[in-house]
Chain A
Amino acid sequence: MTLWFVFALMTVAAIFAVLWPLGRGGRDQNQGSEVTVYKDQLVEIEHDLAAGLIARPEAEAARVEISRRLLAADSSESALAPTSNLKWRRAAAVLALVGLPLLAAAIYVPLGSPALRDFPLAQRERGSGPGMAQSLENLVAQVEQHLEKNPTDGRGWNVLAPVLERLGRFDEAVRAYRNSITYNGESAERRSDLGEAIAAAAGGVVTADAKTEFERAHALDADDPKANYFLGLAAEQDGRKDDAANIWRALLAKAPADAPWRPLVQASLARVGGGGTMPALSNETIAASKDMNEGDRNAMVRSMVERLATRLKQNGDDVDGWLRLVRAYLVMGDRDKARGASTDARQAVANDSERLRQLNEGLKNLGLDG
C-alpha cells in the first residue's frame, strides 16, 4: 500500500511542476537579452582601455562595431511583446493533470513489478526462509561477512572451511582452507584438508594440485592418516595399484584399532589389494547399472566417465585408461566423443612409440582405427 502512496505522491509532484509556472502566469520577467550583452561588452571595452590592454584606436573601432549590433538588436527585440494565451494554458494544464498520470501508468504497468518487495541482502540474511539449510546458509553468510571485514581472522577461516565443504561449495572451501593456512600457519592436518577440498572440487579426482598438498602434509607428518589415504587413492587413480595397496597397508598397520576411518581404508585396500580388476567403467559395471533407474544410472556413468577424463587430461600416459574411456563413450553411444578421446589419446602418448602401438592396437579392437 505504501508503494502506491509513494507513486501517487511522486505523480502529484510531477503534475505540480507543470502547473506551477502556468499558475504564476509568467510574472517574473528577469530574462536576459542581446541588448544587455552588448551593453556589457561596451562597458568591458572601457575597462580594457583603462587597464591599458587595448589602445584607443582599437577601442574606438570595437565600440563602433558593438554599437551597430546594439542598435540592430534593440530594434528587433522591441517587436516581441509577451502575450498570454489562456486557451493554450488550460490545454497544458489538462495535459499535465490527465495526460501525465495516464502516460506514466501506461508505461509503468507493463514494465514494473509493483507486487515484488525489495530483497536487500541484509534482510535475507536475518533468516526469512524456512528450514535448517537456509539458516546454515545464513550463518555462513554472516561468517563470510565478518571475514570480509577481518580477512586475517584465521580462526574464522578454520570454522568456515569445513562447513563450506559440507555444503558442497568446494571452490570456496579451497579458498577458505588456503586462508586458514596463510593466517594460522601450516600443519599436516590443514594441508590434507585443503587437498581433500581440492579433490572434492575436481569431482573426487586427486589432481596434481591436491596431490601436492597431500605430499606437503605427508612431509610435515608422515603418519597423517588423511594424507596417506589420499596419496594411496592418487596412486590407485594413476593405475599404480600395488603402490596404493602398500600405502594403505602401512596406514592400517600404524592405525589405532578404534580409528573411525579403518573400515574405509580396509574397503579401499580390498578394492585394489584383492587383485580384482579395477571396477570403474568395466563393461560389467555399466551393464550392472542398467538395473538402476534411468536417472541414477546416467548420473553415475557420466560422473565416472568424467572423472576418468579429468584424470587422463592431467596424466595422459595411461594407455589402459584411455582405452577404458573410449570404450565407455562407445557403450554410452557417443561415437563422436569416443573419436575425440582417441585423438586426444594419440596426442598424449605420441612421444612414446611403445605406448602408441598399444593404443592403436586397442583402438583397432574397439573398431575405431580411423
Chain B
Amino acid sequence: MIAEAGHYALVLALALALIQSFVPLIGARLRDPALMNVARSTALAQLLFVGASFIALVTLHVSSDFSVANVYENSHSMKPLIYKITGVWGNHEGSMLLWVSILALFGGLVAAFGNNLPLSLRAHVLSVQAWIASAFYLFILITSNPFLRIANPPIEGRDLNPVLQDIGLAVHPPMLYLGYVGFSISFSFAIAALIEGRIDAAWARWVRPWTLVAWIFLTLGIAMGSYWAYYELGWGGWWFWDPVENASLMPWLAGTALLHSALVMEKRNALKVWTILLSILTFSLSLLGTFLVRSGVITSVHAFANDPTRGVFILLILCLFIGGSLSLFAGRATSLKQGGLFAPISREGALVLNNLLLTVACAVVLFGTLYPLAMEVLADFKMSVGAPFYNLTFVPLFALLLLAVPFGPMLAWKRGDLLGVTQRLLAAGVAGLVVVAIVWAWTRGGSALAPLAIGLGVFVIAGVVTDLVERTGLFRLPFATTLHRARGLPRSAWGTAFAHAGLGIALIGIVCETTWNSEYIATMKPNDVAQVAGYDLKLDGLLERQGPNYREMVAQFQVSKGGEPLSVMTPSKRSFTTRGASTTEAALLTRGASQLYISLGDVTAEGAIAVRIYHKPFVLLIWWGPVLMAFGGVLSLSDRRLRVGAPKPARAKQRLQPAE
C-alpha cells in the first residue's frame, strides 16, 4: 500500500501542478485575489504530496521491499540503514524524485513565507514554478518512474553501486540539488517580472534571499562533491574538469554573477535587464546540468542514442524552458524601464566587471563541456577537454577577477575614486608582494607562477582586511568606537568579507596542493617503510575484515615523523559480492591544513601491495575556502535589513566611506 500510495501522491502532485500552472495566471490577469491565492494552497498541497511520495520511497528502501523495481535494482537487505536511505537518491529515478521534492519545497516556502510579495507577483512566480514542476513530474512518471512494481518480488536486491555507499553521497546530491533547484525561484521571479512587465529595486529585494540560499547550497554542494571525489575515488584528485563537475560549476559561476548584479539592482536600481537575463541563464545552466548528468549523454553520445527516451524528454524540457524564457526576454526586455546611471569607475562598474569575467569564465566552461560532445555527434570523433584547456582560459580569467575583487567593495557607489582605492589597497598589495618574495626564496622549486598566485591569494585576503579596517576605523579611532562601528556594520558587509576571504584561501590551497604535492607510488611488503615529505610510513601488515555487505582488506600503517610515532592509518579495499565490484577507501591523516593520503592498489602474488601515498600540503584550504564563502552567504542571508546604496554626491569633495 505504501508503494501505491506514494505513486498516487506523485500523480496528484502533477494534477495540482497543472492547476497551479494556469488558474493563478488567469487570476492575475483578472486581478481576482481568490484565483491568485489558489497558487498558494496548491503549492503547499503539492509540497505535501511530493513529500509524502518521497517519504514513501524512503520507507520502501528502508524496509527492503523488492517488489518495487527501483528498490530491487539499487538496494540490498544487508546494506547499513544509512545507505538504504541515501540509496534513495543514489540512482536516477530516486534522484529525480528528490529533485522535484526540492522544487516543491522551494515553491512551498515561497507560498508560506511570501507574505511580503505583491499578490500578483506571487501568483506569477508560483505559476512559473508549477510549469517547471509539471514538466518534471511528467518526466518522472513517464520515463523514470521509481514506483514501478515487480509482480514476483525477488528475495534479494542488486545492491547500490559501492562507490556510492559513502557518507559523502548522503550529503552531496541533496546540497547540489538545493542549489540547482533554488535558482528556479529567481528564474520564476524573472519570468514573472517579464510577464508583468514591471521590475524594480523591490523585485531584487524579494529575490535576494532565494538566490542567496541557492548559492550557499550550491557552493557547499560543489565543495562536498569535490571532497568526496578526493577521498573516495582513490586518486587524490579533487577536481577533474569532467562534464559532471562542470555541470555544477557553470550554474555556480552564473549564480555568483547573479548574486552580484542583483545587489546592484537592489541598491541602485541599475542593471535590471541584465539581472533578469542572468536569472534565466543561471537556471538554464542548472537545467543543462541536470540534462548532462541524467540523460547519459556524457558516458557516450551513442549510449544516449541507444535509449533516447529520457534524454530526449529532458532535451525537450530544456528547449522549452530555455527557448521559451529567452524569447519572452527578447520580446519584453525592451519594455522594461531602464534603471539608474553610474560612472564606469564606481562600485556598479566594478560589479559589471565581476559579471563580465564570471560570465566569460562560465562561457569558457560551457564551451569546454559541450565541444567534445558536439565533435562526437558531428564528426564521430571522441576527444576530451581537460586541465590544459582550462589552465589557459579559465585560470587567467579568474586571476583577473581575483585581482579586481579587493577593489570592488572599496569603491563608492555611482562614481568612485580608483586612485584613492589603490592607495588604500597599497598595504594589501605590499603584503601580497612580501609573501611572493618569501615563498620564492623559500621553495625555489615548482612552478614560477605558484608564488605569484599565492601572493594574489594573500592580496585578496589582505584587501578584505583593509576594507574592514577602513570601515571600522581600526587604528584610526579609539578602540571602543571601532568596536561600536564593527557591531554596527551590516552583517551583509561581514558576509562579503568572509566570502571574498574564502576565495583567497581556496586559491592558496589550490596552488599549494598542485605545486608542492609529493607522491610515493610503490609496491610494499609488510615492514617496509615509505618516506614521504618527512613522514615515515611503516606497513605493519594486511588483515581481512568482514563488513555488513562487503569484505575488506585493511592495510595498517604506522606513521611517524623524526622517529616519533604519530598515528596509525588504515586504508582498505572493499569488495562487494553482490555487484562484484570493489572500492578503495583511502586513509587520511590531517596535520593542520595538510593531509597524508594513502590508497591501496592490487595485491601481488608475493603478498606485497601496491600503495599510493600522497602528502598534500594545505589541501584542506581548498574546502575551507568554500565553507567560509558559504558562511559569508549565511551571514548575508541573516541580514534582514533592506539594502540601500547611498550614491556619492557629485560635488561633495570630502573623503567619506561608502555605505554598505
Residues of A participating in the B interface, judged by any CB pair closer than 8 Å: 2-3, 6-7, 10-11, 13-14, 17-18, 20-22, 24-26, 29-34, 36-38, 40-41, 44-45, 47-48, 51-55, 57-62, 65-66, 69, 73, 76, 80-85, 88-89, 92, 95-96, 99-100, 103-104, 107-108, 111-114, 116-122, 124, 137, 141, 144-145, 148, 151, 171-172, 175, 178-179, 182
**Interface bits B27-40 vs A (CB < 8 Å: 1, else 0):** 10011111111101
A21 touches B8 (CB 8 A): no
Task: State the CA gap A119–B67 with chains docked (Å).
Answer: 6
Q: Do B647 and A65 touch (CB < 8 A)?
A: yes
Given A108-B7, A178-B546, verify A92-B67 contact (CB < 8 Å).
no
Asked if residues B32 and A55 are in contact (CB atoms below 8 Å), the reply is no
B242 located at the interface, meaning its Cβ lies under 8 Å from any Cβ of chain A in the complex: no
**By CB atoms of chain A within 10 A, which of B26, B49, B65 has the most?**
B65
Q: How far is the CA of A137 from the CA of B77 in the complex (A)?
A: 14
Considering residues B38, B40, B41, B645, which has the most beta carbons from chain A within 10 angstroms of its beta carbon? B38
The residues of A that contact B145 with a CB separation of less than 8 Å are 111
Whether the pair A62, B644 counts as a contact (CB closer than 8 A) is yes
- Indicate whether B609 reaches chain A with its CB closer than 8 angstroms: no
Please give, as numbers and ranges, the residues of chain B lying within 8 Å of A18 by CB-CB distance: 16, 19, 23, 38, 41-42
Task: Count A/B pairs, Cβ under 8 Å.
Answer: 255
Q: A20-B41, A108-B7 are known contacts. Are A89 and B35 too (CB-CB below 8 A)?
A: yes
- Contact yes or no, A10 B8, CB < 8 A: yes
Q: Bound state CA distance, A108 and B60, in angstroms?
A: 19
Our pick among A51, A69, A122, A179 for the contact of B200 (Cβ within 8 Å) is A69
* B32 touches which of A66, A82, A100 (Cβ 8 Å): A82
Given contacts A57-B649, A121-B64, A2 and B1 within 8 Å (CB-CB): yes
**B613 is an interface residue with CB less than 8 A from chain A:** no
28 pairs across A/B with beta carbons < 8 Å? A3-B4, A10-B9, A10-B49, A14-B16, A21-B38, A25-B34, A45-B646, A47-B641, A54-B656, A55-B656, A57-B649, A57-B654, A84-B34, A95-B19, A100-B12, A100-B16, A103-B15, A107-B15, A111-B147, A116-B3, A116-B67, A116-B151, A121-B77, A124-B153, A137-B155, A141-B77, A151-B547, A178-B544
- Look across to chain A and name the residue whose beta carbon is closest to the beta carbon of B122: A31
State whether A119 and B1 are in contact (beta carbons under 8 Å apart), knowing that A37-B202, A57-B652, A89-B34 are contacts in the complex: no
Given contacts A58-B656, A65-B340, contact A107 B19 (CB under 8 A): no
Q: Report Cα–Cα, A344/B219, bound state, in Å.
A: 54
Chain A residue numbers with a CB within 8 Å of B42 are 17-18
* Docked-complex contact B4 and A69, CB < 8 angstroms: no
B→A interface (CB under 8 Å): 1-5, 7-9, 11-12, 14-16, 18-19, 23, 26-27, 30-38, 40-42, 44-45, 48-49, 60, 63-67, 77-78, 115-120, 122, 141, 145, 147-149, 151, 153, 155, 198, 200-202, 205-206, 269, 340, 485, 488-490, 544-548, 551, 577, 641-642, 644-649, 652, 654, 656, 658-660
Q: A10-B5, A119-B65 in contact; A62/B38 too (CB < 8 A)?
A: no
CB-CB under 8 A for A116 and B4, given A11-B12, A18-B42: yes
> What is the CA–CA distance of A118 and B66 in the complex, to the nearest angstrom?
9
Q: Which of A41, A107, A178 contacts B644 (CB 8 A)?
A: A41
Contact (Cβ within 8 A) A117 B11: no
Residues of A within 8 Å of B652, CB to CB, are: 57-58
Contact of A26 with B5 in the complex, beta carbons under 8 Å: no
Q: Is the CB of B37 within 8 A of A119?
A: no
Contact call B12/A14, Cβ cutoff below 8 A: yes
Alpha-carbon gap, A17 to B38, bound state (A) = 8
> In the assembled complex, which residues on chain B have CB atoms less than 8 Å from the CB atom of A54?
646, 656, 658-659
- Count chain B CB atoms within 10 A of each CB in A32, A57, A89, A96 and give the residue with the most: A32
Name the A residues within 8 Å of B147 (CB-CB).
111-112
Do B65 and A82 touch across chains, with their CB atoms under 8 A apart?
no
State whether B5 touches A95 (Cβ < 8 A).
no
**CA gap between A179 and B545 in the complex, in Å:** 8
In the complex, are the beta carbons of B200 and A73 less than 8 A apart? Answer: yes
User: By the criterion CB–CB under 8 Å, are A22 and B38 in contact?
Assistant: yes
Contacts of A179 in B (CB 8 A): 546
Q: Which listed residue (B7, B35, B63) contacts A111, Cβ 8 A? A: B7
Beyond A59-B646, A117-B1: 16 further Cβ-contacts under 8 Å?
A: A3-B4, A11-B12, A25-B33, A31-B116, A32-B118, A48-B644, A52-B485, A54-B656, A57-B649, A62-B647, A69-B200, A69-B269, A111-B147, A118-B1, A120-B60, A178-B551
CB of B141 to closest CB in A, whole Å: 6
Q: Is B33 in contact with A61, judged by CB distance below 8 angstroms?
A: no
B1–A83 CB distance below 8 A:
no
- Contact yes or no, B4 A113, CB < 8 A: yes
> Are B64 and A120 within 8 A (Cβ)?
yes
- Which residues of A are found within 8 Å of B647, using beta-carbon distances? 58, 61-62, 65
CB nearest neighbor in A for B198:
A76
Shortest 10 CB-CB contacts between residues of A and residues of B: A26-B33, A17-B45, A32-B116, A120-B63, A21-B37, A54-B659, A121-B64, A37-B202, A58-B646, A62-B646
Q: Is the CB of A80 within 8 A of B546?
A: no
With both beta carbons as reference points, the residue of chain A lying nearest to B269 in the complex is identified as A69
User: Judging by beta carbons under 8 Å apart, are B642 and A37 in contact?
Assistant: yes
A232 to B442, alpha carbons, bound, how many Å?
A: 68
Minimum distance in angstroms from B552 CB to a CB of chain A: 12
The chain A residue with its CB closest to the CB of B652 is A57
Beta-carbon contact of B2 and A118 below 8 Å? yes
Given the complex, which residues of A lie within 8 Å of B201, measured CB to CB? 37-38, 41, 69
CA distance A95 to B38 in the complex (A): 12
A33 to B331, CA, bound (A): 26
A108–B8 CB distance below 8 A: yes
A21-B40, A59-B646, A122-B63 in contact; A34/B118 too (CB < 8 A)? yes
Q: How far is A254 from B485 in the complex, measured between Cα atoms in Å?
A: 96
Which residues from chain A contact B36 at a C-beta distance below 8 Å?
26
Interchain CB contact under 8 A, A26 and B485? no
> CB distance B141 to A107 under 8 Å?
yes
- B11, B36, B48, B547 interface centre (most CB from chain A within 10 Å): B11
Cα A316 to Cα B491 in complex, Å, equals 74
Given contacts A53-B489, A55-B654, A107 and B14 within 8 Å (CB-CB): yes
User: What CA separation (Å) do A103 and B48 show in the bound complex?
Assistant: 19
A179–B317 Cα distance when bound, in Å, is 52
Question: Is the beta-carbon distance between B49 and A14 smaller than 8 angstroms?
Answer: yes
**Known: A88-B30, A88-B32. Contact between A44 and B642, CB under 8 A?**
yes
Task: Let me know if A6 and B1 touch, CB within 8 A.
Answer: yes
Q: How far is the CA of A193 from the CA of B28 in the complex (A)?
A: 77
Is A80 within 8 A of B31, CB to CB? yes
CA A118 to CA B63, docked complex, whole Å: 10
* A45 proximity list for chain B (CB < 8 A): 644, 646
Nearest CB on B from A38, distance (A): 7
Q: Which residues of B contact A151 (CB under 8 A)?
A: 546-548
Check A34/B34 contact, CB under 8 A, given A17-B16, A17-B42: no
In the bound complex, CA of A364 to CA of B45 (Å): 79
A33 to B203 alpha-carbon distance, docked (Å): 10
Chain B contacts for A116, CB-based, 8 A: 3-4, 67, 149, 151
Q: Do the beta carbons of A31 and B119 come within 8 Å of each other?
A: yes
Closest to A134 in B: B155
- Would B546 and A175 count as touching, CB distance under 8 A? yes
Q: How far is the CB of B112 from chain A (nearest CB, A)?
A: 13
Contact A111 B141 (CB under 8 A): yes
Interfacial chain B residues near A24, Cβ < 8 Å: 34, 37
Q: Contact between A124 and B116 (Cβ–Cβ < 8 Å)?
A: no
Closest to B52 in A: A10
User: Which B residues lie within 8 Å of A11 (CB)?
Assistant: 12
CA distance A14 to B48 in the complex (A): 10
Bound complex: CA of A121 vs CA of B154, how far in Å? 10
